[in-house]
Amino acid sequence: MLVAHLVIVQYADGALQLAVEEGVRAGTAVDAGPAICVRSARRTLVGRRGVLRGELGRTATVRCFVDGAAKPPQMVAIARIEGGLAIPLLGRVRIEASSRRVIEAVR
């Protein structure tokens, strides 16, 4: 049973990573922004064809913001699942993934 739970954690980690990468890709397009980043990441996770539907997907949070201190500015996405999965002997699990990408400039 422990192995099955660890497989679920690995799958959820990969799903979060995919979601944040899709989020920053969408959020860095010309005239896009953090709201589009969050929407794209959430759709990747729990949309009609989402990769992490169900209880884990519902407990996932996504945050996107512009890191203006980075030169050039970058879109940052962070996705997290906290306490949504209890694993015997390990307790509640926290899974987090992040991604960043340079914001496209108008040419």
**Residue 48 above 70 pLDDT?**
yes
Tally of domains within the chain? 1
Higher-confidence residue of 50 and 83: namely 50
Query: What's the Cα-to-Cα distance from 102 to each of 34, 64, 72, 74, 86, rounded to whole Å?
Result: 13, 13, 7, 4, 36
Range of the domain at 47: 2-102
- Asked, for residue 107, whether it belongs to a domain, the answer is no
- Asked, for residue 46, whether it belongs to a domain, the answer is yes
- Asked, for residue 40, whether it belongs to a domain, the answer is yes
Tell me what pLDDT residue 93 has: 79
Q: What is the mean pLDDT of residues 9-14?
A: 91
Higher-confidence residue of 104 and 68: namely 68
Confidence of residue 84 (pLDDT cuts 50, 70, 90): low
Query: What's the Cα-to-Cα distance from 9 to each of 4, 44, 81, 101, 103, rounded to whole Å?
Result: 9, 17, 10, 25, 31
Q: What is the mean pLDDT of residues 63-67?
A: 97
Tell me what pLDDT residue 106 has: 57
Closest CA to 23 of 44, 53, 49, 47: 44
- Tell whether the torsion through CA atoms of 26, 29, 32 and 33 is positive or negative: positive
- Asked, for residue 81, whether it belongs to a domain, the answer is yes
**% the chain with pLDDT above 70:** 91
Residue with tokens 């929407």: 39
Could you tell me which residues are beta bridge partners of residue 84? none
User: 99, 64 in Cβ contact below 8 A?
Assistant: no
- Asked, for residue 11, whether it belongs to a domain, the answer is yes
Q: What is the mean pLDDT of residues 82-95?
A: 72
Could you tell me which residues are beta bridge partners of residue 98? 78
Tell me what pLDDT residue 65 has: 97
**Residue 85 above 90 pLDDT?**
no
- Asked, for residue 58, whether it belongs to a domain, the answer is yes
